[in-house]
Amino acid sequence: MRSISATMSVTLDGVVQGPGRPDEDTRGEFTLGGWAGQYNDAVMGQEMGKGMSKPGDMLFGHRTWRDFIGVWADAADGNPFTTYMNAATKYVASRTLKDADAWPNSILLSGEAVETVAALKATPGNDLVIIGSASLIRALHAAGLIDHYQLLIHPLTLGSGTRLFEGTAPLTEFELTGSVTTTKGVIIASYSRR
Question: What pLDDT score does 71 carry?
Answer: 77
Distance between CA atoms of 1 and 125, rounded to whole angstroms? Answer: 7
CATH match for 4-193 among 3.40.718.10, 3.40.430.10, 3.40.50.300, 3.90.1570.10: 3.40.430.10
Mean pLDDT by 10 residues, the chain (194 residues): 96 96 95 97 92 85 90 68 84 95 94 97 96 94 96 98 88 96 98 96
Residues 6 or more apart whose CB falls under 8 angstroms from that of 50 comprise none
